[in-house]
Amino acid sequence: MTMAFTLVAMLMMAGQSQAGQAAAREQVYRAVLQDQRCGGRGERGARGDRPVLHRERMNPAAQGWWQFAPAPALVERLPAMMPGLRVEFLREFLRINATESEWNVQVARQLGADLVSRDELERMGRSAWVWDAFFARFPSASALVELSQAAIDSDSGTALVYCGASSGALAGRGFLVMLQYRDGGWMPTVWQLVWES
Residue 168 phi/psi, 5-degree rounding, is 175, 175
Overall number of domains in the chain: 1
pTM value > 0.95: no
Instruction: Say which amino acid occupies 70.
Output: P
Backbone phi and psi for residue 179, each to the nearest 5 degrees, phi listed first: -125, 155
Residues 6+ apart with CB under 8 A from 185: 27, 31
- Quickly count: other Cβ atoms within 10 Å of residue 112's Cβ: 13
**C-alpha radius of gyration, the chain, whole number:** 18
Query: Beta 141-147 vs 158-166: how paired, if at all?
Result: antiparallel
What is the distance between the alpha carbons of residues 50 and 41, in angstroms, rounded to a whole number?
A: 8
**What's residue 10's pLDDT?**
36
Which positions ≥6 away from 178 have C-beta within 8 Å? 82, 84, 85, 158, 159, 160, 188, 189, 190, 192
pLDDT for 108 = 92
pLDDT value for 77: 81
What is the three-state SS of 7-60? HHHHHHHHHHHHHHHHHHHHHHHHHHHCCHHHHCCCCCCCCCCEEEEECECCCH
pLDDT below 50 — which residues of the chain?
1, 4-16, 70
pLDDT at 12: 37
Q: What is the pLDDT of residue 197?
A: 83
pLDDT at 188: 96
> Minimal CA–CA distance to 66: which of 97, 41, 43?
97
What's the confidence (pLDDT) of residue 43? 61
Output the pLDDT for position 194.
Answer: 86
Please give the residue range of the domain that contains residue 100: 2-196
Residue type, 157: G
